[in-house]
Amino acid sequence: MSVLPPSAELPDAAAVGPRRQPGVHLQLVIGAALVLVVVALAVVSFVWTPYDPVRAVPADRLQAPSAAHWFGTDRFGRDVFSQIMVGARTTLYVGVVAVGIAAIVGVPVGIVAGMRGGATGTLLMRGSDVLLAFPGLLLAIILGAAFGAGTTTAMVALGIGAIPAFARVARSGTLQVMRTDYVLAARAANRSPRAIAGRHVLPNIAGIVVVQCSVTFGLAVLAEAALSYLGLGTAPPTPSWGRMLQESQPYLGVHDYLALAPGVAIAVAVLGFNLLGDGLRDVLDPRLKGVR
């Protein structure tokens, strides 16, 4: 009786396919770490900063990074690292309010459109499409011209501009949930639409809404920086990463650290929230579990 070679006794693992083992999602970990750094800077800035971020010290103007001023000083002698810390607070504040406005309005609109369907659903989504024609930055410029530029204008404009994305995501998730057996059973049991939405629809679409919040937060951070760069965001003397970039332009090639610090801060925040959103999507979406 012949003996099979070892390679023939058991199928090769590579031939079967990639082995899917539960593990740490690298994107989620990196994204959460970067976001935690930004949040930590913002929280610590409430109780401590190395220097007063708005106090001008002409004698210390345009100093290179050193032990006394970790990120150097700007043209007015203000400590750049202190401004970065307070700027993180401003950026997160704008992002939280903008995402909150978009989620509070967009998610109910999407749920109602998905559950009701028909003319009501079509009307709600066509209204959402109208808002989609006005991007957040364009809407901020319009509102800034009408009511004056500032933090409140930026928050409202970015929030309104993000409503269609939340409405579309919520409607898509609602349509999937409404086709499930437990929702059909709830409807057969004469449960009210409000009860079905609160008990079955909202908990089941919460995951994709959280992912959308994370992605939209990163976009809001970038948009707020762009608005401040254009002079339509946070007004001075409150530190803002976008305005710090704008003020550093005359010194590029001579004092590059003035642009490097806020530029890296913006990149870290946006990258962190995008990676966090991708990681949450992989964890919360059952169709993607074990793929990576």
The domain ranges of the chain are 24-41+78-288
The pLDDT score that the predictor gives to residue 286 is: 54
Whole-model pTM: value is 0.84
> Which tokens is 200 given?
């079955």
The pLDDT score that the predictor gives to residue 24 is: 65
| CB-neighbour burial class of residue 260 (10 A; exposed 0-12, middle 13-18, buried 19+) | middle
The pLDDT score that the predictor gives to residue 23 is: 53
Report the alpha-carbon distance of residue 75 to residue 236 in Å, rounded.
15
Report the alpha-carbon distance of residue 15 to residue 4 in Å, rounded.
18
Report the alpha-carbon distance of residue 31 to residue 287 in Å, rounded.
21
> Which tokens is 227 given?
């608005």
The pLDDT score that the predictor gives to residue 18 is: 44
The pLDDT score that the predictor gives to residue 231 is: 86
Which regions in the chain score pLDDT beneath 70? 1-24, 285-292
Contacts of 103 (CB under 8 A, 6+ apart): 166, 209, 212, 213
Report the alpha-carbon distance of residue 48 to residue 4 in Å, rounded.
72
Report the alpha-carbon distance of residue 240 to residue 243 in Å, rounded.
5
Domain 24-41+78-288 has CATH 1.10.3720.10: yes
The pLDDT score that the predictor gives to residue 20 is: 43
Helix H or strand E segment including 254: none
- At 122, the amino acid letter reads T
The pLDDT score that the predictor gives to residue 21 is: 45
**CA-wise closest residue to 217 among 151, 268, 269:** 269
Residue range 93-137, pLDDT digits in tens: 999 999 999 999 999 999 999 999 888 889 999 888 888 887 777
Report the alpha-carbon distance of residue 220 to residue 89 in Å, rounded.
14
